[in-house]
Structure 1
């Protein structure tokens, strides 16, 4: 046995030095997510799966996300007992800076983290004797941290790039040179005209105004994101393996356009007791007990992910729409869901819905969507939420906010036809009347619910011994263990 000192934390989030016992001969993966919630969760899920197959995992967070993860852990979870070693490094931003300013965050990551990563790997590998099999044997990097592939290649370490979103979005990024040549966008990513395009006849139509880098922030932010996404996608192409949290059945055309991308999804959490989940906020488990008391297929679940922000007008319209529907509901209202200091509900709203609604700040989403009382998911269409909804057979009302969510909405409503889109009015607001109307349309359409249940079977079949995703994952395991 070899013992190394690593930075861990107690269940109260206090850092300490502890000695870790590491078995000889295990593959040892250094895992690096992009530091936002929707990217950390699938890589944490993948890490737990690798641990179950004999891997050592060192999970690299930025210092900011490291503190968020530790502070959100349940009291019974202690990361010094976890099978995943959680460590941190600076992202280059000051403690009080806004990390939702993605352009600034991406520029800071690019200028700061590569040198820290290289030094971290050298330091970790020096912790083992020359004949040890426990040095870092591979680096698994979020493709949005594609620079890490080049660091690993420079150091002679096998590289794995992980794509956490729809394969269709990656296909779009790979087609950037062609889009520039065809005059769809300029060299800085700005659309020359607002138009609908298709990368192939069977792909969803994409609105150039909704390209992932173009519908975020001001012009400098958009240009910074465009540069960051494109350069990291190019860097990730050099990786030995390209993995994806998707599966062939739902995006066949996209995978034809990205032939080296290997789908291993959907990656769903296993709810391991006493393990780090990667959540940035503490889950309110009381909502599951509340769901237990509701009638089957009666509850509307409303959640908009980790980044969505509404103005007060839109927040009020949503609340009124929920009230108009008149059914039991579970609504996730995270502390920063509105652009003011705290969400303000319409007058009397909380009193009027007290007997049929529950509002929480964060929910164990997979447990919620799997619950038999849940009938509908009003969602921002983030890819993790999309995969989870498909896996549980729950129909969608789609409310995309930014980035890839518009593409995911097109898949849901136009390609898979397991949900409906909520339309924005001329004033830029989704009205309470629109919410109520689309709810009635969806509830009255049995074909949508039937297709959702068929998609559930198709999704989960990929994770069986006959499924292509499980086969791809096993092929990857064997290759990594054989090195």
Structure 2
């Protein structure tokens, strides 16, 4: 298709409204803009305000993407970390609002600027249904491990095999593998069972079933992974097209303003001397566990950069252990949010203590940094299995009898990971593989180029 004749193709992109879902779709959107597309990016009103404020504070100059928003149906004071309530409320109000938005954009546009394609997060299958209803071509985007998507698509067989009930409850706790090359999965850690109370888990499970049905009507199925990372997944989900790694940048995707002063601090540290600690956007630590982590970092004697969101301790005052700040002042830095890709790429960083969210996993892999794994919920337990058991580029922690990861355990694993050259060599090899996948002739770049050409037809 010649753009001079037909105009630029116009794509509407809509993520599930959490940081880990917004970021990779924003990166994909900018890649499409670089290929000559017009992109309208739809956030919820709540996230839109946060992103606009983050853009203002970070002085982001890139204005090529069209940011718009619609309400999520939640009241201003509602807890948007209550994922079951968020999913149910979004389903009740957002489909009609999305349809109205598309109709308005197309009504106000000339023929060359109408929306001709929708890319929707697989976690909001209703957006794919809206696109189908309006006769618009569509792609589902999966922002997590391909292995997890294979598990979700496998639910009917899990029921048929007597592994789970029709409501998603394991008949018995056991370890299963979907294929020999994939991580062993604990049925008690299936993603829908790692979120909230039983009512929340059932709601999430039903949402998954609805999304599985909706995605069958997508024209394309994309994900943020790469063939070489999860080769067996493509046997189980043959129509899945990996485009990753889609790595976070400073462009429009952050719900918190980034503190870039940490990069200057890192410049002053010796090579491979700093532990980077970040738990993503949803992890909550209780005060006792927070204190143990602080004391464990102190006990290790290592330099560290620690990202501490304002809500990391669930709204409780994040007071440090007595005297902690003074004792670590010459070797520790604590900030609210970091430019993570740049931090992980910095030569002073020696390892990444992470919640094992998929974006963080992809960024750590792509920078060749060994992992210390501290999964919190959802898919993070599966990602930890990949990191520790399949790729062998990280270590996990062993909680005590009270479920607490002690300062002694933290100190022990820090020393172990820093001194393990075999893990570091494997991590650097995986970095090379990741970068090759998005370079000329790489598997993910070819998938992206094929997708771009298909969208222009």
Taking structure 1 as the reference length, the TM-score comes to 0.92
Match of residue 22, structure 2, among 24, 40, 54: 40
The equivalent of 1:105 in structure 2 is 86
Higher helix share: 2
Contact 2:259 2:335 in 1 (8 A): yes
Could you tell me how far apart the structure 2 residues matched to 1:89 and 1:28 are? 19
Could you tell me how far apart the structure 2 residues matched to 1:353 and 1:440 are? 18
Deviation of 1:214 after TM superposition, in Å, equals 0.4
Per-residue CA distance 1:315-352 (angstroms, 9 max, x = gap): 01101110111111000000000134221211110000
Q: How many residues were matched structurally? A: 454
Tell me whether 1:402 sits opposite 2:377 in the alignment.
yes
The equivalent of 1:59 in structure 2 is 41
The equivalent of 1:246 in structure 2 is 225
Deviation of 1:66 after TM superposition, in Å, equals 0.8
The gaps in structure 1 that reach 5 residues or longer are 1-21
Contact 1:336 1:342 in 2 (8 A): no
The equivalent of 1:367 in structure 2 is 342
Contact 1:147 1:236 in 2 (8 A): no
Distance 1:76 1:36, change over 3 A: closer
Could you tell me how far apart the structure 2 residues matched to 1:476 and 1:167 are? 18
Distance 1:47 1:382, change over 3 A: same
The equivalent of 1:6 in structure 2 is none
Deviation of 1:37 after TM superposition, in Å, equals 0.5
Greater mean alpha carbon deviation, residues 33-42 or residues 107-116: 107-116
Helix, strand or coil at the partner of 1:73: helix
Could you tell me how far apart the structure 1 residues matched to 2:130 and 2:351 are? 44
Deviation of 1:193 after TM superposition, in Å, equals 1.5
The gaps in structure 2 that reach 5 residues or longer are none
Distance 1:84 1:337, change over 3 A: same
Per-residue CA distance 1:179-199 (angstroms, 9 max, x = gap): 111221111212222211111
Helix, strand or coil at the partner of 2:193: coil
Paired residues for 1:6-155 under 5 Å: 25-75=7-57, 77=59, 82-129=63-110, 132-155=111-134
Deviation of 1:291 after TM superposition, in Å, equals 0.2
Tell me whether 1:333 sits opposite 2:308 in the alignment.
yes
Deviation of 1:216 after TM superposition, in Å, equals 1.1
Moved over 3 A (4+): 74-79
Match of residue 169, structure 1, among 138, 144, 148: 148
Match of residue 285, structure 2, among 302, 306, 310: 310
Per-residue CA distance 1:87-131 (angstroms, 9 max, x = gap): 1111111111000000100101111111111111111111124xx
Distance 1:85 1:23, change over 3 A: farther
Deviation of 1:76 after TM superposition, in Å, equals 6.4
Match of residue 366, structure 2, among 346, 366, 391: 391
Task: State the Cα RMSD in Å.
Answer: 1.5
Greater mean alpha carbon deviation, residues 323-332 or residues 230-239: 230-239
Match of residue 458, structure 1, among 419, 433, 436: 433
Could you tell me how far apart the structure 2 residues matched to 1:141 and 1:237 are? 13
Per-residue CA distance 1:140-198 (angstroms, 9 max, x = gap): 00000111111111111110110100000000100111111122111121222221111
Could you tell me how far apart the structure 1 residues matched to 2:330 and 2:32 are? 44
Helix, strand or coil at the partner of 1:144: coil
Helix, strand or coil at the partner of 1:316: helix
Greater mean alpha carbon deviation, residues 420-429 or residues 296-305: 420-429
Could you tell me how far apart the structure 1 residues matched to 2:103 and 2:412 are? 59
